[in-house]
A and B are shown apart, each in its own frame.
Chain A
Amino acid sequence: MARRYDSRTTIFSPEGRLYQIEYAMEAISHAGTVLGVLAKDGVVLAAEKRVTGKLLDLSSAKEGGGYGGSGEKMFLLNSNVIGGVAGITSDANSLVNYARTVAQQHLLQYNDDIPVELLAQRLCDMKQGYTQFGGLRPFGVSLLYAGYDPHYHFQLYHSDPSGNYSGWKATCIGANNGTAQSLLKQEYKDDLGVEEAIGLVLRVMSKTMDSTTLGSEKLEFAVLTYDEAAKAPKAKIYKPAEIDALLRAEGLAKKDEDTEMK
């Protein structure tokens, strides 16, 4: 039955489904996990890297780069928004580029940083367009947006390939997102501080990820806070060394015997 309706994004099946979009969502549910938690004084994002291996050149992430991160899953979309992506990397790059352009156009036009929801909305407008017009496939990407704006302060949004978006206190996309979400539901408390949120994110992440131990080679991490001195949001995407230091501080670093095993 599906065969007749799934080759085109624009055609509904008799049951009223758009198969291409469901396939895109399915692809994402196999991608590396991205997890986000909203705190009262910040937003925390963590992501599981899938593209690893000792031959991978990570020098740019370790030495260069003003923002840290390997550029696989965490991106600075604007000075007030960090994006975490799950899905097809090449599609994600294109969306990130679009988001940055949109944010800068807003800054040019209004001399203000783009509101977080508006940025999510602009991306979703595009994503939706790809589900309706012929000859195109949808973006195989879900995103988490961790952002700050003066009106709504800290926010966390999620958008999926259909162009749907919604705001969350804590959410997760990618592999094992069901497990992660039920863990978050259990552990999340209102009035969470950013330090507690960091702990929560790392604990859930360690339980969700397939690998037994956490380390910078498999993890990306970012925090958005507000710099009172500069009167501006402060986005920090952690460098590998900083991630390892954080894991040690949280008592989640891999044990010595683990390293010896290798």
Chain B
Amino acid sequence: MSIMEYNGGSVIAMVGKDCVAIASDLRLGSQALGISSNFQRIFPVTDRVYVGLPGLATDVTTLRERFRYRVNMYTIKEEREIEPETFAHLVSSTLYQHRFGPYFIEPVMAGLSKTPSGGFKPFIAATDLIGCLNFAKDFVVAGTASAKLFGVAEGLWEPDLEAEDLFETISQTLLNAVDRDAYSGWGAIVHVITKDKIITRTLKGRMD
């Protein structure tokens, strides 16, 4: 039995044209037993950064609060909101502090970062459970359905998708991947982050 698969769950993030999306299933399990079909593992960090925490459920809660602590300290001292790149390094350093007794979480981040000209640039990243960063330009995946997510995303994703098309792409990728994973599923949630609004939608999925 792997600790990473004890509770199940998967997260994916994708880049679009001037937007990003992050999505997750809603299952919380105890190995084969389903416990909850409304377990949130994606959290807002700022108005323009979201983080998804697939892995051991107890660590989802703990890490989320640790990140809140560090982000609050950053915000109050810097007197500005944290940029997604900075947050990615904050996540990485937090996880690496526990290099030899890690949190069993592989975070996925998505956000829009400010450019010097005042615009916004899509940003996604993921790390392994000890904080090794992966700044992908297309999509990142993590969780018990990661192999399936990679396969479908590699087939469906294309560059410069508009917000609504990106929503459809990430939703189809997630739903079809988790349908082939016994540890993920039981509904899904999708957030699409654009420069002037965040679209959050809960998806119905197979409940088996």
Asked if A and B touch directly (CB within 8 angstroms), the answer is yes
**Residues of chain A within 8 A of B75, CB atoms compared:** 66
Whether A104 contacts B72 by the Cβ 8 Å rule is yes
Whether A108 contacts B76 by the Cβ 8 Å rule is no
- Give CA–CA (A108, B69) in the complex, Å: 6
**Which residue on B lies nearest to A100, using beta carbons?**
B76
Q: Is A107 an interface residue when CB atoms closer than 8 A count as contact?
A: yes
**Which residue on B lies nearest to A109, using beta carbons?**
B65
- Give CA–CA (A122, B76) in the complex, Å: 19
The tally of residues in B whose CB lies under 8 Å from a CB in A reads 12
**Residues of chain B within 8 A of A78, CB atoms compared:** 76
Number of cross-chain contacts by CB at 8 Å: 29
Which residue of A65, A108, A111 contacts B66 across the interface (Cβ within 8 Å)?
Answer: A108
Q: Is B197 an interface residue when CB atoms closer than 8 A count as contact?
A: no
- Give CA–CA (A34, B69) in the complex, Å: 29
Q: Is A64 an interface residue when CB atoms closer than 8 A count as contact?
A: yes
Q: Is B196 an interface residue when CB atoms closer than 8 A count as contact?
A: no
**Residues of chain A within 8 A of B208, CB atoms compared:** none
Q: Kindly identify, within residues 58 to 82 of chain B, every residue whose CB is under 8 Å from any CB belonging to chain A.
A: 65-66, 68-69, 72-73, 75-77, 79-81
Whether B65 contacts A111 by the Cβ 8 Å rule is yes
Smallest CB–CB gap between A114 and chain B, Å? 12
**Residues of chain A within 8 A of B66, CB atoms compared:** 108
Whether B73 contacts A107 by the Cβ 8 Å rule is no
**Which residue on A lies nearest to B62, using beta carbons?**
A108
Q: Is A101 an interface residue when CB atoms closer than 8 A count as contact?
A: yes
Smallest CB–CB gap between A108 and chain B, Å? 5
Whether A104 contacts B73 by the Cβ 8 Å rule is yes
Over the window 67-84 of chain A, the binary record of Cβ atoms lying under 8 Å from chain B Cβ atoms (1 yes, 0 no) is: 100000000101000000
**Residues of chain B within 8 A of A76, CB atoms compared:** 76
- Give CA–CA (A76, B81) in the complex, Å: 15
Over the window 192-227 of chain A, the binary record of Cβ atoms lying under 8 Å from chain B Cβ atoms (1 yes, 0 no) is: 000000000000000000000000000000000000
Whether A107 contacts B80 by the Cβ 8 Å rule is no
13 contacts between A and B (CB under 8 A): A65-B79, A66-B79, A66-B81, A100-B73, A100-B76, A100-B77, A101-B73, A104-B72, A104-B73, A105-B69, A107-B65, A107-B72, A108-B65
B residues sitting closer than 8 Å to A (CB atoms) are 65-66, 68-69, 72-73, 75-77, 79-81
